[in-house]
Amino acid sequence: MKEIVLAKVGEIVLKGLNRRQFEDQLLKNIRNCLKSLGSVEVKAAQSTISIVPQDEFIDLDEVCERISRIFGIATYSRAAVCDEKSLESVLKTAPEYLAEQLESAKTFKVEAKRSDKKFPFKSPEICRETGGKILQSFPHLKVDVHNPDLVVNVEIRDFGAYIHGKALRGAGGIPVGTGGNAAILISGGIDSPVAAYMMAKRGIRLTAIHFASPPYTSERAEQKVVKLLKKVARYSGNMNMYTVPFTEIQETIRKKCPEDYFTIIMRRLMMKISERIARDKKCQALITGESLGQVASQTIGAIACTDAAANMPVFRPLIGMDKQEIIDISYKIDTFETSIEPYEDCCTVFTPKHPRTKPVLERIEDAEAKGEFDEMIERALQNLKLTFINRED
Amino acid sequence: MHYLDNSATTRVSEAAAKKALELMTENFGNPSSLYSFGMRAEDELNKARSVIAKALSVSEEEIFFTSGGTEGNNLAVLGAVQALRRRGNKIVTTAVEHSSVYETASYLEGQGFEVVRIRPDKSGNFAPEDFRNAIDEKTILVSVMAVNNEIGTVLPVEKLRKYIEFKGSPAILHSDCVQAFGKIPLRLGKLGVDIATISGHKIHAPKGVGAVYIRKGLRIKPIYFGGEQEKKLRPGTEAMPLIAAFGTAAGELDIPKSYTKAKELKAYLLQKLSELDGVVINSPENAVPYILNFSPVGIRSETMLHFLAQREIYVSSGSACAKGKPSHVLEAMSLDRGVADSAIRVSFCSDNTTEDIDALVSALRDGMNTLVKRKQI
Chain segment A112-141, per-residue pLDDT in tens: 999 888 889 899 999 999 999 999 999 999
Residue B321 has pLDDT above 70, yes or no: no
Q: What pLDDT is stored for residue B46 in this prediction?
A: 96
Tell the burial category of A120 from Cβ atoms under 10 Å away from its Cβ (0-12, 13-18, 19+): exposed
Q: What pLDDT is stored for residue B261 in this prediction?
A: 96
Q: What pLDDT is stored for residue A347 in this prediction?
A: 61
Determine the average pLDDT of the residues in A151-158: 92
* CA distance readout (Å), B329 to B121, B158, B162, B283: 11, 21, 26, 12
Q: What pLDDT is stored for residue A220 in this prediction?
A: 87
Query: What is the tens place of the pLDDT at every residue in A322-355?
Result: 999 999 999 999 999 999 877 666 666 677 777 7
What is the phi-psi region of residue B10: left when phi exceeds 0, alpha when psi lies from -120 to 50, beta otherwise?
beta
* Residue B349 among the catalytic residues: no
Residue A29: pLDDT band with limits 50, 70, 90: very high
Residue B143 has what DSSP assignment? E
A239-245/A385-389 β-pairing: antiparallel
The rounded percent of chain B whose pLDDT value lies above 70 is 97
Residue A232 has pLDDT above 80, yes or no: yes
User: What is the model's pTM?
Assistant: 0.83
Report chain A residues whose CB lies below 8 A from the CB of B376.
351, 353
Q: Which of B321, B322, B371, B377 is catalytic?
A: B321
Q: What pLDDT is stored for residue A16 in this prediction?
A: 72
Determine the average pLDDT of the residues in B289-297: 95
Residue B317: pLDDT band with limits 50, 70, 90: confident
Q: What pLDDT is stored for residue B322 in this prediction?
A: 46
Q: What pLDDT is stored for residue B325 in this prediction?
A: 66
Asked if A255 reaches chain B (Cβ–Cβ under 8 Å), the answer is: yes
Q: What pLDDT is stored for residue B337 in this prediction?
A: 83
Query: What is the tens place of the pLDDT at every residue in A43-82?
Result: 998 788 999 999 888 999 999 999 999 999 999 999 999 9
Determine the average pLDDT of the residues in A365-379: 93
Determine the average pLDDT of the residues in B332-341: 88
Q: Where are the alpha helices (DSSP H) in chain B?
A: 14-25, 36-55, 69-83, 99-110, 128-134, 160-166, 188-191, 240-251, 255-274, 301-310, 328-332, 337-341, 354-370
* CA distance readout (Å), A203 to A159, A181, A377, B276: 30, 9, 31, 57
* Residue B2: CB atoms within 10 Å: 19
Mean pLDDT of chain A: 91
Nearest chain B Cα distance for residue A156, angstroms: 59
- Minimal-distance CA residue of chain B relative to A351: B376
Residue B174 has pLDDT above 70, yes or no: yes
Query: What is the tens place of the pLDDT at every residue in B31-85?
Result: 988 888 888 999 999 999 999 999 999 999 999 999 999 999 999 999 999 999 9
Residues A363, A370: Cα–Cα separation, whole Å: 11
Q: What pLDDT is stored for residue B164 in this prediction?
A: 96
Residues A142, A163: Cα–Cα separation, whole Å: 20
Residue B87 has pLDDT above 90, yes or no: yes
Q: What is the largest CA-CA distance in chain B?
A: 69
Determine the average pLDDT of the residues in A191-220: 95
Residues B261, B228: Cα–Cα separation, whole Å: 43
Nearest chain B Cα distance for residue A340, angstroms: 13
Q: Where are the alpha helices (DSSP H) in A201-354?
A: 219-236, 247-256, 262-280, 300-307, 323-332, 336-339, 346-349
Instruction: Please name the residues in contact with A65: beta carbons below 8 A apart, sequence gap of 6 or more.
Output: none
B371 vs A215: CB contact, 8 Å cut-off? yes
Residue A253 has pLDDT above 70, yes or no: yes
Q: What pLDDT is stored for residue A12 in this prediction?
A: 61
- Minimal-distance CA residue of chain B relative to A216: B303
Q: What pLDDT is stored for residue A293 in this prediction?
A: 79
Interchain CB contacts (distance < 8 Å): A and B: 30
Query: What is the tens place of the pLDDT at every residue in A267-301?
Result: 999 999 999 999 999 999 999 999 997 676 688 88
The rounded percent of chain A whose pLDDT value lies above 90 is 73
Q: Is pLDDT larger for residue A20 or for residue B292?
A: B292
Determine the average pLDDT of the residues in A375-380: 96
Residue B324 has pLDDT above 60, yes or no: no
Q: What pLDDT is stored for residue B3 in this prediction?
A: 97
Determine the average pLDDT of the residues in B364-373: 89
The rounded percent of chain B whose pLDDT value lies above 90 is 86
Q: Sign of the CA dihedral B9, B268, B362, B152?
A: positive
Nearest chain B Cα distance for residue A344, angstroms: 9
Residue A393 has pLDDT above 70, yes or no: no
**Kind and range of the H or E run holding B2:** strand B2-3
Q: Are A245 and A269 in contact (CB under 8 A)?
A: no
Residues linked to residue B94 through DSSP beta bridges, in sequence order: B118
Tell the burial category of B251 from Cβ atoms under 10 Å away from its Cβ (0-12, 13-18, 19+): middle
Asked if A259 reaches chain B (Cβ–Cβ under 8 Å), the answer is: yes
A350 vs B310: CB contact, 8 Å cut-off? no
Q: What pLDDT is stored for residue A360 in this prediction?
A: 87
Nearest chain A Cα distance for residue B145, angstroms: 30
Q: What pLDDT is stored for residue A17 in this prediction?
A: 72
B310 vs A353: CB contact, 8 Å cut-off? no
Q: What pLDDT is stored for residue A117 in this prediction?
A: 86
Residue B369, phi then psi, degrees to nearest 5: -80, -35
Least confident of A48-62, B41-55, B104-118, B174-188: A48-62
Residue B298: pLDDT band with limits 50, 70, 90: confident
Least confident of A159-163, A353-357, B86-90: A353-357
Mean pLDDT of chain B: 94
Least confident of A11-25, B171-185, B230-244, B301-315: A11-25
